[in-house]
Amino acid sequence: MNETVRESMEFDVVIVGGGPAGLAAAIRLRQLSPETSVCLIEKGSEIGAHIVSGAVIEPRALAELLPDWKERGAPLNTQVTAEEMLYLTETGSLRVPFLDKFMPHMANHGNYIVSLGEVCRWLATQAEELGVEIYPGFAGAEVLIENNRVVGVATGDMGITREGKPGPNYQPGMELRGTYTLFAEGCRGSLTKQVMAHYDLRKGVDPQTYGLGIKEVWEVPAEKHRPGLVQHSFGWPMDDQTYGGAFLYHFGENLVSYGFVVGLDYPNTWLSPFEEMQRLKLHPAFRKHLEGGRRVAYGARALSEGGLQAMPRLTFPGGALIGDSAGFLNVPKIKGTHTAMKSGMLAAEAVVDAMQSQRAEPATFTQRVKESWVWEELRTARNIRPAFARFGAKKGAIYSALDAMIFKGRAPWTLHFKHADNEVLKPATLTAKPNYPKPDGQLTFDRLSSVFLSATNHEEDQPVHLHVKNQALWKTVNWDVFRAPETRYCPAGVYEVVDEAADPKLQINAQNCVHCKTCDIKDPCQNIDWTVPEGAGGPNYPAGM
């Protein structure tokens, strides 16, 4: 953006993103090759500041990475001890019997309920001990490509004013040049998007499909706390065309993690994921866990739900995509931490291999993935999410039970995703408005008091990081046809329509953005482009998230 000379620094490997994938890759690199210089940047103000997850995690990849994780004090403290899968009607609930037979992917023996943010902070200390240089508060803003090879990234300029000019505190960005660059930005990475376009990595694969997860952490009275309890639900309040469900995990010291995930291929433009997640708490099956407690944290994040069918080519000259950036999440399990970590570890191995043989592309990564348990796991899971997209919630559930029991995931066919999530919204006049209850201030809340709990902060005087590419298109499509769906799907109240009656205009309250990436995914014409704001901006999720 600016012509000032940027400083630059050379590393063997540059990693963009400090989630489980990036941190596992960094650790693996230094374990395999202690001389390799590894630099990791994270846009959050500290590691974990932008992490939203459930999270029930499988310790499999962690045990492979750091076999003595228990002795090292990994914050995996609550083992799953009981679990329930509920099918909800508006007032009642049915428990799915024989969970491990009908829905084996939902069985959680041996897994742990954690705060993934805390796990990431711990992984970061492990990585630093091994000599990884970690720089939180710096966002990768630009991919550096020279002679068709990715040669690193540049961090964003700091201190640019709202008008786009250098302010009194201006600091130019810095080039972090790496022989190899790993993109570990999580779901819908902004640089990943550019790399995929440049190298056409999505050629011949299904469109990626996404979900939006909104989560709260509650502190409940000790007598209500049942550490180790895992509860999932499907059915109400989602209709049959909408994929969605809720989770509730008791963990830590009187904490309960409650969240709701909705498939972003939902057709009803009036649907508000935020209000669905709020009203679900009023259902007796959830109310009984939370009543009498207080909400201590709030956050939201998109997740990649396309699975194997939507996975792009993983490598390109100068680097690879890992974790949720590539779409390694196991959807029916809603677990992506163990696969993200494993993908990072395999990429590290491929990079070390490429470094030794001086190849530009760490191409053995793909083969390593195919030979690993990750591939087997994702293959088994591959038909479940598309079955829901195709047959609806009830038949999709039946399909997935049959798939699990008869074929054990090895059905001789593969179901495909036909549409990208932004293409399936129906016009406002053709869909019915749900009737959402008003927040009661006890169990249910409005958006603004929720964003407040995410401790989101962006330097005020900076350019708006959400780009509406074509303003006219907003009026003719978003407003005229869909009545501004962004005002409903954005979980942080960033989008508002002003002057609705006379001359409707879109107002963007960018400082509230929690970096969930939903607008970048769901906007009907892909007219909204999410770019990184100034480093350290965004949520500051507290302990427990």
Partner 1 sequence: MKIVVPVKRVVDYNIKPRVKADGSGVETAGVKMSMNPFDEIAVEEAVRLKEKGAATEVVVVSIGVQQAQDTLRTAMAMGADRAILVLAEESPEPLAVAKVLKAIVAKEEPGMVILGKQAIDDDMNATGQMLAGLLGWGQGTFAGKVEVADGSVRVSREIDGGTEEVSLKLPAVITADLRLNEPRYASLPNIMKARKKPLETLNVADLGVDTTRRLTVVSVAEPAQRAAGVKVGSVAELVEKLRNEAKVI
Ligand X SMILES: Cc1cc2nc3c(=O)[nH]c(=O)nc-3n(C[C@H](O)[C@H](O)[C@H](O)COP(=O)(O)OP(=O)(O)OC[C@H]3O[C@@H](n4cnc5c(N)ncnc54)[C@H](O)[C@@H]3O)c2cc1C
Which residues are catalytically annotated?
53, 301, 337, 490, 513, 516, 519
Cβ at position 286, least distance to ligand X in Å: 15
Residue 52 engages ligand SF4 in binding (rule: CB under 6 A): no
- 457 contact choice in partner 1, ligand X, ligand SF4, none (CB below 5 to 8 Å, kind-dependent): partner 1
Q: Which of 455, 464, 477, 497 binds partner 1 (CB under 8 A)?
A: 455
Residue 494 engages ligand SF4 in binding (rule: CB under 6 A): yes
Cβ at position 254, least distance to partner 1 in Å: 7
Provide the mask over 452-491, with x wherever binding to ligand SF4 is found by CB under 6 A and - wherever it is not.
--------------x-----------------------xx
Binding part of the chain for partner 1, among 170-178, 260-268, 333-341, 374-382 by CB under 8 A, reads 170-178
- Is residue 181 within 8 Å of 318, Cβ to Cβ? yes
Residue 77 engages partner 1 in binding (rule: CB under 8 A): no
Residue position matching structure tokens 């998230």 = 545
- 530 contact choice in partner 1, ligand SF4, ligand X, none (CB below 5 to 8 Å, kind-dependent): ligand SF4
Q: Which two tokens stand for residue 7?
A: 């400083």
Residue 7 engages partner 1 in binding (rule: CB under 8 A): yes
Q: How many CB atoms lie within 10 A of CB 367?
A: 11
Q: How many CB atoms lie within 10 A of CB 405?
A: 13
One-letter amino acid of 163: E
How far apart, in whole angstroms, are the C-alpha atoms of residue 234 and residue 237?
8
- Is residue 13 within 8 Å of 333, Cβ to Cβ? no
Residue 53 engages ligand X in binding (rule: CB under 6 A): yes
How far apart, in whole angstroms, are the C-alpha atoms of residue 238 and residue 242?
6
CA separation (Å) from 508 to 148, 233, 467? 36, 34, 10
How far apart, in whole angstroms, are the C-alpha atoms of residue 222 and residue 212?
31
Binding part of the chain for ligand SF4, among 45-53, 325-333, 426-434, 514-522 by CB under 6 A, reads 514-522
What number of helices (H) and strands (E) belong to the chain? 15, 24
Cβ at position 99, least distance to ligand X in Å: 16
Q: Which residues pair with 466 in a beta bridge?
A: 530
How far apart, in whole angstroms, are the C-alpha atoms of residue 62 and residue 186?
18
Provide the mask over 282-301, with x wherever binding to partner 1 is found by CB under 8 A and - wherever it is not.
--------------x-----
Q: Which residues ranging from 87 to 126 are in contact with ligand X (CB under 6 A)?
A: 116
Question: 3-class SS at 413?
Answer: coil
How far does the chain reach from its first CA to its final CA, in angstroms?
35
Q: Which two tokens stand for residue 516?
A: 């969930």
One-letter amino acid of 395: K
- Per CB under 6 A, residues contacting ligand X are 16-22, 41-44, 50-57, 116, 139-140, 184-187, 189-191, 213, 215, 259, 261, 301, 303, 323-325, 329, 334-338, 340, 532
Binding positions for partner 1, rule: CB under 8 A? 7, 9, 45-46, 49, 115, 117-118, 121, 133, 135, 138, 155, 158-159, 168-169, 171, 173-174, 219, 254, 296, 441, 452-453, 455, 457, 540, 542-544
